[in-house]
Amino acid sequence: MRSIQKNLDKFNEAGIRPVAISVDSPEASRELCQKAGYTFTFLSDAKADAIRRYDLLHAGAGEHGADIARPGEFLVDATGTVRWVNLTENYWIRARPEQILEAGKALR
């Protein structure tokens, strides 16, 4: 998230809108954004509806056995079609902004 925020100008310039989605409540996300200085959109999927629709549910992996999302990034074009996907096999390893911006060059 921090690397996305750091490169937000580049994403804006490329016409790519980053959106973060987790099971955190809107309040928890707002607190995180204020603390960390994130200014892009954070959405709350408390019931994991969207997370299930994208088949990213990691059942019981959260605190007290809560269902959470496994990390995953999708670049969706203006028509709503997926153009790039990153489903990491190791949650320490995430997509880097340069990778995403590179993939974004193919968007029109």
- Minimum distance, C-beta of residue 27 to another protein, in the bound complex (Å): 8
Count residues contacting another protein (CB under 8 A)?
73
Q: Which of 28, 32, 31, 33 is nearest to 45 (CA)?
A: 28
**80 φψ region: left (φ > 0), alpha (ψ -120 to 50), beta (else):** left
User: Considering the rule CB under 8 A, would residue 41 count as an interface residue with another protein?
Assistant: yes
Instruction: List the beta bridge partners of residue 34.
Output: none
Near another protein in 46-85, by CB under 8 A: 49-51, 53-59, 61-63, 66, 68-78, 80-85
- Least CB distance to another protein at residue 85 (A): 6
Cβ 108 to another protein shortest distance, Å: 7
Tell me whether strands 57-58 and 68-69 are parallel, antiparallel or unpaired: antiparallel
Binding residues for another protein restricted to 1-40, rule: CB under 8 A: 1-4, 11-12, 14-24, 26-30, 32-33
